[in-house]
Amino acid sequence: MVSKSAVIGIDLGADTSYVGYVGKGIVDICQNEVSRRETPTLVGFTDRERLLGDAALAQIKSNAKNTCRNFKHLLGQQLDSPQVKEEDFWSTSTIGVCPDGGLGYQVNYKGESRDMSAVQVTAMFLTKLRDLTEKWTQSKVADCVIGVPSYYSDVHRQALLDAAKIAGLPVLRLMNEHTATALAYGIYRSNDFDAEKPCTVAFCNMGHTMFSVSVVQFVRGKLTVICEKSDKVGGRTMTECLMREFARQFQKKVGCDPLSSKKAAFKLEEAVTKTKKILSANNEAQLSVECLMEDEDFGSTITRDVFLEMCQPMMDRVSAVLEGAKAAAAAAGVAAEQIDFVEMIGGASRVPWVKEFCSKAFGGKELSTTMNADESVARGCALQAAMLSPLYKVRDFAVVDVIPHPVTIGWMGSSADQDAEKGDEEGEHMAGAEGEYKTMTVFPRNSLMNTVKLLTFYRKGPFDLKLEYEDTSALVPGAGKLLGNFKIDLPPAGETKKIKVKAKLTLNGTFGIESAQMLEEEEYEEKVKEKKEIEVPAEEEAKPAEGEASPPPPEGEKPESPKEGEAAAEGETKAPSPKKEPEKKYEWVEVVKKKKRTKRTDIPIVATDVPGLPSNTIQKQEDEETAMQADMKEIIETDEKRNDLESYILTMRDLPEDSDPADWHIRMPRTLLDVVTQLLELMFARRKGAGNHFCEDEMRGDWVQAVQGTITNYANAAKTPGEMWLAFKLPGYSHISPDKLGQIVKECDSLTSWLESMQAQQAAMPKHEKPVLLPDRDQMICSDLEKKNQELAKFADEILRRAMWPMWTKQSALPALLELGNDIYSIATFDKEESSWHLWVYNRASSKKGVTLRAKQCVLPLGQLTLVEEMPADSDALFRVPYALSSPGTSGLVCVWQEEEGEVVMDIAEVAKQLSLDLKSPEIATRLES
């Protein structure tokens, strides 16, 4: 069980992703199951399982339509956005609108067509990153920081936070990628920086899909982001140039366009990526693709000069980003000449012309490559996670990041603003005329993250606020302007109330109204103690007598001491002094004073049109993700055991023939028997359901036949109640009312209808599916049929039990049932405690006590008579024969006993005569009338 905790940083890339973790004094990158530090950002779906990372990459050619990629750029987007149309070129699966309103992918999963939203797919991939991290570090992920592009607006960031929540990742912060890079660069060089003079560094990041340039200043223990500019142009843009050129050549040669087929387009993309890498170091490169389309092979050659001509539009966009970054830095007071270093990062930064452009833009400076170009973002995010997490103590290093997009707040003016207090020093007063819509920039461009603004309103009732981006032209195309509507639900009041509203720019770069409070001045009474002079009457002002102690001074006053020079020796006569004023006396009394204080009351806020998924949708997707992980666990374990078995067999096959078999267990981590056993357990666990269904199908006929027999017996007993008397001269069920017997028939018919219905449903179902009639595998019975059988027996027995001989409240004699010769007879009794009938066989002549009797055949109502014990020799009874009342399947009473001389059949009248029993007595005749 994992007991340690880890903090991680995630670089969620469009093509590959990295996970950095903090160890003991180090920051390193996790390796996945194939021992690679990068994990392909792919999620695939099949009829059996879902594929994440390298597993999805291995099957993308054969499973292209069900593989999701580049989902990072679909978060928070709309279908009509220009970015989505660009992503459609690279997506191998169909992009569409999902039920939750966001964009997603249309895939087939386990034989069903499913719409997987970008948020869901991102959450699935984040679970993959979490699992590989926990496996690599042997720790449980406690905190994480995720890197995001700077162009991400509020809606994109909130979508990523929703995905992390669905995946169960505790996110401390969403960090801009350029800020994470600067942190990874500066924290290890902090002691080399001057405490006052800043060191200015320009970071040029050319990734798979983005190119960004940021200017950052470092001083000892602090970094400050000056500016950042970016554009959606990167390594795949070069790939697209080559793909379109080779597709044009193939179409000219064969007559079909490979870009029209997702599978062929991916084949071409894979081959072009290798060609592009070759062109980075050579002037010429070849391309070769087998069976590109319509079983046609394709091969071609391209030179670097031709490639540079294709990339000319891309070069213009790169130059625009570089110039924009220089202009923004100059506006902030940092000229290009003041930049000390230019650091190159990103996977596509190794392209020669990219390096040339970056060096030329900053006055021909020599480029630095001191950082890991691919892992810098993940390392910076891991460092930020350690700084924010309470689990680690990191050296003090401040990170000052800003937002590139200003945010405004809008509200309707009110006449209550005229009652505004003058000189309110806390917060900004949001005034406006009645009915006038006002706006104000609450967070200007380059505002610091994790900032709170306090806004003051004067209102008599509820009012609305609206947060919006000020300039939509600076946003990514397709991003919405609205950030949310917030209703401050102030209860209506007759007088104007002062409201303080907190607007917050979070550490994640998202905006919102954090809280609202109503401030009221209220008076309250407080009891304090004050010193009050006591008025002393004139007659009480006389001096105290000699030797009498003077009263103590009031609390807080010191006793008077003689002045300097006035001390006299003992016995010296003092000169007469003038008459002194009477001494004042004081006392402490409680006084009630009125004071004022500010009462703060929280006001509920109703937010609408805010970015992100509703809480119920997030909970539903969390449950779906948990179910998918449970399904995958068994499949993964089975595959692992199969791989272990194959590895063991291959290893054993390579051993020398003359090797000692006793050494095999020492060389191998586990025995072949253990591996096979574990594999078979997993395989049989999956097939167990089908095997059980087969056994149930074989036995179901016996279960149905038993129930049908019970129905027949009880139905016959209820429909022909007088047959027992006619056949055996014994009382039957004729004395029971027809209504009661009709209830039995009704129950039998109802059970028959239910049984036929269930049999029809079972016959229509495939035999491998869960049966309609549920079994009890522990007792090897059909629980549904057994339950119905017992219910019918219990119901009918309660009615048919009245056909028995009269019952007394205690065990006592009943009319004789059997007469066996002159001296042997039997009496039936009913024992309430045991709920059973007993048949006692007696012998009047003591000389015949040892006569041998045995039951040859005995079928009694509702039970089977069995010989259970022989009475002691000193007892008058030879045998006691009990039988249960609850055993179904019998319909009459036939008792034939056998003596040594022959068989004797009962005669009730003769037995009654010998026992002196009056069959006409009221007690007995009542039961024998029928």
Q: Mind listing the pLDDT tens digit for each residue in 726-762? A: 433 344 566 677 888 888 888 898 888 888 888 888 8
Strands (E), 644-773: none
Low-confidence ranges of the chain (pLDDT < 50): 1, 544-550, 554-558, 560-574, 665, 724-731, 777-780, 803-827, 829-832, 834-837, 841-908, 910-911, 914-915, 925-930
Q: In sequence order, what are the beta bridge partners of 826? A: 818, 841
The 10s digit of each residue's pLDDT in 809-868 is 223 333 333 333 444 444 454 444 544 445 554 444 433 333 333 333 333 332 333 333
What is the SS3 assignment for 442-494? EECCCCECCEEEEEEEEECCCEEEEEEECCHHHCCCCCCCEEEEEEECCCCCC
Q: How far is Cα 884 from Cα 894, in angstroms, rounded to an integer?
A: 16
For residue 47, which of 113, 104, 105 has the smallest C-alpha distance? 113
C-alpha dist (Å) from residue 227 to 79, 122, 348, 467, 822: 31, 29, 22, 24, 123
DSSP per-residue letters across 292-330: EETTEEEEEEEEHHHHHHHTHHHHHHHHHHHHHHHHHHH
Q: SS3 for 27?
A: strand
The 10s digit of each residue's pLDDT in 763-801 is 887 776 777 766 654 444 567 778 888 888 888 888 776
The number of C-alpha atoms within 13 Å of 749 and in the hemisphere containing its C-beta is: 8
For residue 842, which of 859, 818, 811 has the smallest C-alpha distance? 818
- Look at residue 854 in the predicted model and tell me its pLDDT: 33
Structure-derived torsion over alpha carbons of residues 633, 637, 640, 641, reported in degrees to the nearest 10: -170
Q: What CATH number labels 235-310?
A: 3.90.640.10
- Look at residue 317 in the predicted model and tell me its pLDDT: 94
Going by DSSP bridges, is the β-strand pair 781-782/775-776 parallel, antiparallel, or unpaired?
antiparallel
The 10s digit of each residue's pLDDT in 46-87 is 998 999 999 999 999 889 999 999 999 999 888 888 889 889
User: CATH homologous superfamily for 407-522+601-608?
Assistant: Substrate Binding Domain Of DNAk; Chain A, domain 1 (2.60.34.10)
- For domain 5-196+368-398, the question of CATH label 3.30.420.40 is answered with yes
**637 CA to centre of own chain:** 22
First-residue to last-residue Cα distance in the chain: 77
Average model confidence (pLDDT) across the chain: 77
- Segment (H or E) for 58: helix 54-58
C-alpha dist (Å) from residue 877 to 586, 654, 844, 899, 914: 113, 84, 9, 16, 17
Q: Is-above-0.75 flag for pTM? A: no
Q: SS3 for 803?
A: helix
Contact 645, 547 (CB under 8 A): no
